[in-house]
Amino acid sequence: MEGAFPNRAEAGRFLATKLSKYSGRDDVIVLGLPRGGVPVACEVAQALRVPLDVFIVRKLGVPGFEELAVGAIASGGVRVLNQEVANALPNADEIIDAVTQRETAELERREHEYRDGRPAPEIGGRTVILIDDGLATGATMRAAVKALKQRGAAKIVVAVPVGPPDTCREFEDVADEVVCASAPESFQAVGQYYDDFSQTTDEEVRDLLAKAAKS
**pLDDT higher than threshold 50 for residue 1:** no
pLDDT digits (tens, 9 = 90+) for 14-60: 999 999 999 999 999 999 999 999 999 999 999 999 999 999 999 89
**pLDDT higher than threshold 80 for residue 3:** no
Per-residue pLDDT band at 65 (split at 50, 70, 90): confident
Rounded Cα distance, 40 and 61, in Å = 26
Instruction: Name, in order, each residue with C-beta under 8 angstroms of 199's C-beta and a sequence gap of 6 or more.
Output: 35, 36
b/e burial code for range 45-61 (CB count within 10 A of at least 16 → b): bbbbebbbbbbbbbbbb
Rounded Cα distance, 115 and 98, in Å = 26
Domains of the chain plus CATH, in order, are 8-56+121-214 (3.40.50.2020), 58-115 (3.30.1310)
Looking at residue 180, its pLDDT comes to 96
**pLDDT higher than threshold 90 for residue 215:** no
Across the chain, what does the average pLDDT equal? 92
Rounded Cα distance, 84 and 99, in Å = 17
**pLDDT higher than threshold 60 for residue 145:** yes
Rounded Cα distance, 51 and 24, in Å = 10
Average pLDDT on 155-162 reads: 98
Rounded Cα distance, 124 and 135, in Å = 25
In sequence order, what are the beta bridge partners of 194? 5
Asked if 162 and 187 touch (Cβ cutoff 8 Å), the reply is yes
